Structure 1
């Protein structure tokens, strides 16, 4: 079973980025992205890479981020 932890602080996001943890992104209670890793973030945006040239830009104010870590 996968463990889901909400990534809400800069420290949480930095840890997920450093450890290349796969994440899920939700917006308005719908999953809009899954399986990518965080490659960059700032106060407004989180950039997630799902493939070689697949980048997604998600608003930190509008989205929720959760790690997908297996036990």
Structure 2
């Protein structure tokens, strides 16, 4: 079973980036990205990568981010 931990602060995002943890991204209560990893972030944007050339840019203000932890 997977556990979800919400990522909110810069420290949360940095930890997920350092550990290359897979994340799930929601926007307007819909999953818009799942199984990708954070490759960069700043105060406005989170950049995720799910494949070699598969980059996605997500607004921190408009999206919710969750770390997926497997037991």
Query: TM (normalized to structure 2)?
Result: 0.99
SS state of the match for residue 51, structure 2?
coil
Post-superposition offset of 1:2? 0.4
Q: Aligned partners of 2:56, 2:49: CA distance in 1, in Å?
A: 6
Q: How many residues align?
A: 71
Q: Give the structure with the larger strand fraction.
A: 2
Post-superposition offset of 1:26? 0.1
Which structure 1 residue ranges, 4+ long, deviate > 6 Å from structure 2?
Answer: none
Which residues of 2 match residues 1-71 of structure 1 at below 5 A?
1-71=1-71
Query: TM (normalized to structure 1)?
Result: 0.99
Post-superposition offset of 1:34? 0.3
RMSD (Å), alpha carbons = 0.4
- Output one character per residue of 1:5-27: Cα deviation in whole Å (capped at 9) or x when no partner: 00010000000000000000000
Q: Which runs of 5+ in 2 are unaligned?
A: none
SS state of the match for residue 50, structure 1?
strand
